[in-house]
Amino acid sequence: MQPAKKELLTVIHQQDIEKVSESSKSWEIKLTNKQSFQVKYVLDASKESKLCRMANVKADDNVKVLRSTVLSLPQSRALIFVGEDQGEIEVAYLHEVVPAENNLFVLKAKEGYNLPYRVALGQTVGAVVSYCAFFKTSTDKIDLRVLQNELLMYRSRLLPCVDISVEDKHYSSLQRIFLTGILPLNQKEGKLYFNGQDSVKLADVKEELKRLFSRTQLWFVDHNPEYLTLKSTISLLKFAAFRGDELDKEIEQKWKKEFGFEQDYNPERLISKYEFAVLWDKYASPFWVKRSQNGDAIIR
């Protein structure tokens, strides 16, 4: 006998909510047709925050957005929302999206903001609520990287740069590397740039790589170039990813055909930030080194 399939979504038409009340571990939602539902999490996305008023909860919007250029490094690692409106890029990190109290999430309509911005914000808050419901957990136990990966899988934008298109072949890799904090972004006239053609200065990536991959400290004992070449990058990758000399040949073979890099494969030339990001995401996966929710501490 086949087990009954459990519905993942129930849509109720032509009914209104009559009452919202809190019990010890859940919320009770009563409809005008007298149906009643016991739920652990509530997301009030109504225009006038009707559910909050019924529940006697202050209806302040729990999503606090910031301008992308004021983010600290830890905050940038914990980003779960990026939205653009009228040329301004705004962001939010995990601690600014969680509900103020009692598993009641609030998402007020952003008056005057464009539709893509509001859709992206709704997707972010919906993902947080869904995470808690699916894993039967509370917001303080959210695994930051798992949540971010879910957002990336559904094509959320988490890279607040204006010079990288979402249509880029390696956009997902660039987003993941940005969320690690390995490669610094450049700021100009109030906007952030990836500047993928720039060379990679060792001083910019050294300390973060040492924190993420302790074995790389052995490499840095014997190597201290000002800028990384393709050859030195692959050598460093071998320490981080526990790979042997076969990695040189593999990268050479995939350079044009799979990676689609514009410049020819030449181990002696300086590697670009774009190439560096793609190779490190592909072969070392630094994104999956666990972080605390504030994006700062590494969980060992």
Closest CA to 287 of 157, 192, 148, 151: 148
**Pair 178, 185: CB distance under 8 Å:** yes
Looking at residue 209, its pLDDT comes to 95
Alpha-carbon Rg for the chain, nearest whole angstrom, is: 23
d(CA 268, CA 230): 6
pTM here is 0.89
Buried b / exposed e along 29-44 (16+ C-beta atoms within 10 A): beeeeeeeeeeebbbb
Instruction: Please calculate the CA angle 171-156-237 and round it to the nearest 5 degrees.
Output: 40
pLDDT recorded at residue 60: 67
List Cβ neighbours of 258 (8 Å cut-off, separation of 6 or more).
none
Closest CA to 239 of 179, 283, 282: 283
Q: Give the span between the Cα atoms of 165 and 153, in whole angstroms.
A: 17
pLDDT digits (tens, 9 = 90+) for 201-237: 999 999 999 999 999 999 999 999 999 999 999 999 9
